[in-house]
Structure formats: C-alpha cells, structure tokens
Amino acid sequence: MRTVLLASLRTHTRRYVAAFLAVTIAVGFVVVTNALATATKNGLSAGVRDAYPNADLVVGERYGIDDRDLARTLDVAREHDDRATVVGTALTRAAVDGRVLGSDVAVATVATQDDLRRQQVVAGRAPRSDREALADRNAAKANGVRVGDTVVLGDGPRAQRVRVVGLARSVSYLGANLYVPWSTVSMLPGATADSVLYDVRGSVDERRQQLDRAVGSAEVRSRDAYVDDRVTMVNQGVDVISYLLLLFAAIAGFVSVLVIANTFTILFAQRTRDLALLRCVGATRGQVLRSVRVESLVLALVAATIGVLGGALAGYGLAAVVRLLAGSQRIGAVGFSPVWLVGAFVGGVVVTLVAAWLPTRAVVRVSPLAALRPAETPSVRTRAGRVRTALGLLTLAGGSAALAGAVAGNSLPVLLLGGMTSFVGVLLLGPLVVPALLRALGRVVGRTGPAVRIATANTVRNPRRSAATTASLLVGVTLATAVLTGMASARGAIGDEMDGEHPVDVSLTGDRPVTGAVLERVERTRDVRSARTVDGVVARVDGLGRVPVLTPDRADRAATRDAGAVTAARGEVLVPTSVATRSTTGVPDRVRLVVDGRSTTVRTKLVGADWGEALVVTPATARDLGTARPLAIWVSARDGADPDALGGDLGAVARDTGLDPTNALKDRAWVDLQLDVLVWAVLGLLGVGIAIALVGIANTVGLSVLERGREHALLRALGLTRRQLRRVLAAEGLLLALVAALLGTTLGTTYGWLGTLTVVRTAVPDAPLVVPWGELAAVVLVAALAGLVACVLPARRAARVAPAQGLTLD
C-alpha cells in the first residue's frame, strides 16, 4: 500500500493546496499571536524594571498608594535622612505660549536625585527643581516643544508653570509626554501616586520594619519583589489580549475544518474508481481506509509544521515592523512559549484529522464493483438529513430563546451563549437554507442569461457542500457585520451623549467684551462653519470668584450641538463640573451672583456639559445684574475638521485677544478614534477568517471544476463559448459569496442590535438601533468581489478544456 499512498500523494498534491493553506494560516496565526504577545511582554517587563531603578525598597499597594501612607513614608525618609522619590501620574491640560497641546496630556514624575531617576536624558539636562521638566523626545518633536520652552500645566488658579530643561527617551511603562517632580504633579487635578521609591542609608531590614510600622495599608517590599509582582500584573493584561486573539484563531480553525472536510469529500468522490480498483485487486477495506487516513495525516503534519515555521518567521517580521513604526521601547525580543507552539501544532493536526475523518469513512462504502461500472460523473449528491434538520431547529430555537432572555435580563454572557448557539443552529440548517437562498437569488439574477441559470443549478445540486462552502464565509461576515452594527449603534449613542457633554465645538471666553474684529477673525479661520458671540456679565460668585456668566439667546443655543444642554431654567445657574472642581470650598446649592453691587440669588445646577470657563443663566437673571455684553465666542466647526489644527488656529486668536479657549472637538475626536481603532482591530482579525473562507470558495469551485470536466466538455460541445463557461464559474463563486454575505449580514445586523439592546442600552437607555448601510454594503461588496476573485483561476483552467476531451470512454 505504500506505493499507492506515495503515488496518490504525488498525484493529488495540487488538490490539497487549499486544505493545506487553511491549516497553515490557522496554525501560523496562533504562532504569530504568541510571538507578538511574548515580544510585548518582554518589552513591558523591561520597561517595568527600568521604572524602579537603584532603590532598596518600594512602598505601595497593588494599585497605588494613598495620601496618608505617602506622607508617612516621606516622613520616615526625612527623619533618617534617606532618599525617597514618589512615582505618580496625572492627565492634565498643557499649553506652551498659549498654544494648547491637549486637554489630557500625560504627565508623570521624574526624580531629582540622579540615581533614582528612571528616565534616560538624551538632550539638555535632568530637572533639579520643582519648576523644571523633562519632555518625552517623541512627544516633544510631535508637539513642537523645545528645551527652554515654558509649559503651563492645568488651568485656573492651580495652573503650574514649568520649564523644559531636557528631553528623555520614551519608555513603555508609566510613560508620559512630560516628566516633572512629584511636588508639581501632586498640585494637578487627578494626580495619582503609584508608589514610593526608597533608598536606605543604613540597614535595609531595620528601615523596612520601621516603614512597615509607619504605613497603613501599603506594603513595603524589596525592589525586586515589587517589580516581579508588577511584571506579572502587566503580563496578565497581555495574556487576556492573547486569549482574545486565540478566539479568532479558533474561528480560523473552525473555518479550516469546513474547507478540509470539503476537500476530502470531493477528492474521494473523484477517486472512487481508483479506490474500487484497489479493492478489486485485493486491498482490504482496512488497507484502503488506512491509506487515505495516512494521506490526511501527512497533510496535517506538513501543513502544521509549515504553519509553525511560517508563523514564527511572520512573528519576527511583524515585531520588526512594529519596532520600526512605534519605536524600540514598545516591543521587546520575540520569544515563543513551548505550550503555544505545541498547542498550535497539535491543534492544526487534530483539526485536519477530525475534518478528514467523516469524508474518509465514505471510502469504506466503496464496493469493488464500482470499478467495473462505466465511468459515471463522480457526484456526491447530499441532502440535509432529518436528524441534522431537527437538531438545527432545536439549537436555533434554544439559541433564540437565550437571546430573548439576554435582552430581557441585560446579560452579556447569556447573549454570547445565545448568539453562538443560534449561529450553530443556522449552520446546521445550512443544507436547507443555503440552497433555498441560492435558488431564490439565482432566480433574481438568472434572467441575465443561461450562464447564471446553469451556475444556479450547479450550486444547488449539492446542498451540503454548498452549505459548508458558504459557512466559512458566513462566520466571517456575520462577526464583521455584528461588530460594525453594534459599533455604529454605540457610536450613535455615544455621539448623543457627547453632544450633551460638549455642546460647543470650540469656545473662546473672556471677562472683557469681544470686539467685532475678533469675531471676524474667528469666522475667517479655516474649518469654522459659524461663530457667534454670546452675551453675558462678569459676576462674583460664591465659592468661584469672578466668572463670566453667559446668557445664550435662542439663536445661540440653536447653533450648538445640543440646545437643551445650554438652556438654563428660570432662577437657575448652570455650573459646568469643570468650573465647579476649581472651587476650593465647593459650590453651594444656592449661590449669589454679584455685579457692581447688584445681586441675585439662584439655584445651582451642576452639569456635565462643557462650554469653557463660564456659567449660564436665563436672560431674565442677567438683566437683574446689568447690561449684558458679548463675553464669549462659540464656534461651530465644519464636519471633518481637524481638531488639532482648529484648536491651534483658534488658540492663536485667543492668545492675541486674551480669551480662554476650550476645545471640545478634541475630546470628541479622541473617543471617535478609540472606537475606530476597536473596529479596525476587529476587522483586521476577521480578515484572517475571511482569507481562509476565500481559500475555501476557491477550493470548492476549483475541485468542482476538476470533478465536472466532462460536463464542461459536454457544454462546450453543445455550444457554450469559453467566455460563457468562465461566466458560469464566476457566477457560481458570486452566488455562493453573495448568499453567505447576505445571510451573514442579516444575522450580523440582528446580533449587533441584540448586543446594542443588551449592552449599550444599559449605559445609554435610548441608544438608537442604527443600520450602517454604507459599511454593510462594503462588506457585501468585498465578499462578492472575493467570490469572483476566488473563481478566476478555476475558471481559467476549466475554459482550457477542449470540447472533445472527456466525452469518450476512458
């Protein structure tokens, strides 16, 4: 049997290409995931180690250190003349020469003692006082900050001015754009302390005990113990992401199973005569079965091996690319864990063997007599079995019930479970549903000519194969459209929320009247759609000091993104939280507004909205206080305006005119960017699944071409031109892809909506159900194009068949 096996492997190599590719891609994907995860971990671990240099002890809890423990630790250090430095971070507004760099600029600590400093200074020198700062080299370059510049951190009375004295190399852990000593960081709103780095002068053990007694909940650990703990924590985060990636690998594996099972089914159908002949000349069933199983084993081993090797190479390549793009500090040395490698290899082999198992069983049923019958078309007519149908209906019903329950009970796990179960149900019903859809679709497009009609007839003749072929694409399309729909709905919901929080795109507020010339200058700025002055008075307010109090009229309010957010009720003052948090004493429930001796008392309403440093009251309230004059300019930006460019341009106007700019567009852009990144990441990963699905379609159509050589010859003899034959095959691929795309889009949109109802509605009760028509159309188009592309090679091969070929008896 070995001669037969080897000869068969040699002869059929080309037909195994698709199955081989599918396994290789899936295995390679797992290996690449591991390589990149390891590289990321190595990069982060090195970063963590570098962040705690040269100290004997580190004081801190798992997630930071509280103020009391911090103060006590520093007290102990002062008492014993030890050196200690606080590690901490803050997010704050930063500006250089009135040019706002951002409202959420990352600031972290730098030690003023040289050997406790974690940053590596690459230009200038290290800070020696509270008022000196180190800037991240890359961030400084991007923002045009140079050594010697003065940066204003925060705003209002607690704003801190620091001078940049040097540039630092970027770090991956506790990295920031600007590093200033803790005494300055601690003054910023939202500053958090991570730990205290403690260098002992004298006995470490003794001090450790003293510190232990001094602090409350904080732990005192040796530097190495602390770093190891942190590394583990950071790595756990990476592991979570790797496991998420494994989910996609599992999808890729599942799709591979379908492709491989299809390949073997078709291959064995074609080889029925060969196998029967083997049986005729004396091979036992066992021998034949062993022979084909060993074939699948060889395929499995070769594909898995190449998948592991290819994945490893791709891992090194990708790591190099990331290093090039993101800088060397982000990613460390590529490494592989044996568990993952072995897992990927074994997984690939097992998936192949499992997928080949059922088709090979059919081999046993080949009777020796089959060899003696005249060559018939090897056609595996399959039908949806009754058991399968019943099981499918049951699963679908169960899954749908779970989905309904999930929406009613707002439960994400039940939603996922219901989604998966119902999807399996759809897959099980595939042999019924897919041919029906193919027939319906074929009837619609069948009017275009005989080619499409023949193609339709071809695709429905083998329901199980068509179902398996479309299933591979169905998985990818369903997931992609579910994510797109869910994201679109979430984006809509978040968009409404953002409108309420940031009703004014950019506001310029001051305490002196704005002149017409300034307004004109703002209006002329690029990307400004409209700008309006808003009247108000400057009042003295309890707990807030002198602040502009604005009275936007109806037209002013209508020009904002959410008129309701800037509308005050009678006898009420709207106080944005950004203004309220500046108050050192807090804002009372009722406040007195005083202008030049005239005063009025109003109810305070704290709002999450933001329109700059100003309060809002009704015109009636303002009239009680005096004549309102234009104190602010509210700008509405054009769609697609670059938030940074607009912020910079208007910031320049504000600086020249003594106004205070607030750029809400930038916050909005940041949230949008995060959603975009999420969508792109998911779509990118799904690309892997879709790539395998395409290999699957090319495979099915390609093998069908081999299988139907005689039919094609007959069609050519009867008068089908080459072009028409190519069109038949293109139409087959297109029909299969379109059915998968349409069914997948329908399912995906439904899942996306259910996800929105379950997840997004808990956060935003009236989140809209959005259909992202454009994106869905793009998915369908991509799938259809891919179906066409998958058929190019098989169609070319089929068209080469001479009409006389295969019509006579072999």
Residues that bind other proteins (CB under 8 A): 374-377, 379, 381, 449-450, 453-454, 457-458, 460-461, 710-711, 714-724, 802-804, 806-809
CA angle at 639 for the pair 633 and 644, rounded to the nearest 5°: 65
Q: How far apart are the first and last CA of the chain?
A: 25
211 to 76, 392, 495: CA distances (angstroms): 7, 65, 49
Phi/psi of residue 158, each to 5°?
Answer: -95, 10
Rounded to the nearest whole angstrom, what is the least distance from the CB of residue 714 to other proteins in the complex? 6
Closer Cβ to other proteins, 695 or 739, answer by number = 739
- From the CB of 461, what's the least distance to other proteins, in Å? 4
| Contact (Cβ atoms closer than 8 angstroms) between residue 355 and residue 261 | yes
Which CB sits closer to other proteins, 163 or 461?
461
Q: Give me the least distance between CB of 718 and other proteins, in Å please.
A: 5
Please tell me the distance from the alpha carbon of residue 206 to that of residue 221, in angstroms, as a whole number: 13
Give the residue with the Cβ less far from other proteins, 365 or 447. Answer: 447
Minimum CB separation of residue 805 from other proteins in Å reads: 9
167 neighbors 140 (Cβ within 8 angstroms): yes
Nearer to other proteins, 53 or 803 (CB): 803
Paired tokens of 800: 């080469």
User: CB-wise, 327 or 803, nearer to other proteins?
Assistant: 803
- Which C-beta is closer to other proteins: that of 424 or that of 460? 460
What's the rounded Cα separation, in Å, for the pair 256 and 696? 8
Closest approach, Cβ 710 to other proteins, in A, equals 5
Task: Compute the least distance from the CB of residue 246 to other proteins, in Å.
Answer: 41
Q: How far is the C-alpha of 323 from the C-alpha of 315, rounded, in Å?
A: 12
In the complex, minimum distance from the CB of residue 455 to other proteins, in angstroms, rounded to a whole number: 10
- Burial category of 210 from C-beta neighbours within 10 Å (exposed 0-12, middle 13-18, buried 19 and up): middle
- Least distance between other proteins and beta carbon 491 (Å): 46
Closer to other proteins by Cβ: residue 603 or 800 = 800
User: Tokens for 580?
Assistant: 């309220």
CB nearer to other proteins: pick between 456 and 604: 456
Nearer to other proteins, 397 or 717 (CB): 717
Chain mean position to CA 434? 31
> How many other C-beta atoms are found inside a 10 Å radius of the C-beta of residue 553?
12
Residue 368 phi, psi (nearest 5): -55, -30
Q: Rounded CA gap, 761 and 759, in Å?
A: 6
**DSSP letter string over 255-277?**
HHHHHHHHHHHHHHHHTHHHHHH
CB of 789 to other proteins, least distance (A): 25
Write down the least CB distance from residue 450 to other proteins, Å.
Answer: 4
Beta carbon of residue 276, minimum distance to other proteins (angstroms, whole number):
17
Are residues 428 and 392 in contact, defined by beta-carbon separation less than 8 angstroms?
A: yes
Compare residues 157 and 374 and give the one whose CB is closer to other proteins. Answer: 374
Beta-bridge partner residues of 537: 549
For the CB of residue 445, give the shortest distance to other proteins in the complex, in Å: 16
The contacts of residue 316 (CB under 8 Å, 6+ apart) are 35, 334
Q: Cα-flanking dihedrals φ and ψ of residue 539, to 5°? A: -120, 155
DSSP 627-660: --EEEEEEEEEPTT--HHHHHHHHHHHHHHHT-E
CB of 654 closer than 8 Å to CB of 155: no
Q: Please give the radius of gyration of the chain, using alpha carbons only, rounded to the nearest integer.
A: 34
Strands 219-222 and 178-180: unpaired
Decide if 383 contacts 462 (C-beta within 8 A): no
Which CB atom, from 47 or from 435, has the smaller least distance to other proteins?
435
Residue 432 Cβ vs other proteins, minimum distance, rounded to whole Å: 18
User: Shortest approach of other proteins to residue 313 CB, angstroms?
Assistant: 45
Which tokens belong to 333? Answer: 């040395």
CA distance linking residue 672 with residue 676, whole number of Å? 6
CB 804, min distance to other proteins, A = 4
CB nearer to other proteins: pick between 214 and 380:
380
Structure tokens at 34: 């591991």
Please state, in angstroms and rounded to a whole number, the distance separating the CA atoms of residues 389 and 429. 6
In order of 439, 456, 613, 720, 744, the CA distances from 444 in angstroms are 9, 11, 62, 22, 19
Of 358 and 807, which CB lies nearer to other proteins in the complex structure?
807
Q: What count of Cα atoms within 13 Å lies in the side-chain half-sphere of residue 312?
A: 14
Query: Minimal distance in Å, beta carbon 381 to other proteins?
Result: 8
State which residue, 376 or 596, has the beta carbon closest to other proteins: 376
Q: Is 386 helix (H, G, I), strand (E, B) or coil?
A: helix
DSSP string, 307-333: HHHHHHHHHHHHHHHHHHHH-TTS---
Nearer Cβ to other proteins, position 294 or 457?
457
**Which alpha helices (DSSP H) does 365-462 contain, by range?**
386-409, 412-428, 430-445, 450-460
Q: Which is nearer to other proteins, 153 or 454 (CB)?
A: 454
Neighbouring C-beta atoms of residue 376, cutoff 10 Å: 10
Would you say 460 or 580 has its CB closer to other proteins?
460
Region label for 627, one of left (φ > 0), alpha (ψ between -120 and 50) or beta (otherwise): beta
Least distance (Å) from other proteins to the CB of residue 275?
A: 20
Minimum distance from residue 726 beta carbon to other proteins (Å): 12
Are the CB atoms for 472 and 693 separated by under 8 Å? yes
Residue 561 or 726 having the CB closest to other proteins: 726
